[in-house]
Amino acid sequence: MDKCTENVIEFLLDDKRATVTFSQGRYKSRIKKLAAERPEECDIVAENQDGSICAHIPVRWIKIFPVRETSEKQKQCARETMLAYHSKHGSNPWKKG
pLDDT digits (tens, 9 = 90+) for 65-86: 998 899 999 999 999 998 888 8
Q: What is the pLDDT of residue 96?
A: 58
Cα distances (angstroms) measured from residue 40 to each of 10, 53, 69, 84: 19, 18, 37, 44
At 3-57, the pLDDT tens digits run: 778 899 999 999 999 999 999 999 999 999 999 999 999 999 999 999 999 999 9
Collapsing DSSP to helix, strand or coil, 61 comes out as: helix
Strands of 43-47's sheet, edge to edge?
8-10, 17-22, 53-58, 43-47
pTM over 0.75: no
User: Residues with Cβ < 8 Å from 22, sequence gap 6 or more?
Assistant: 7, 8, 28, 31, 52, 53
- The whole-chain average pLDDT of the chain stands at 90
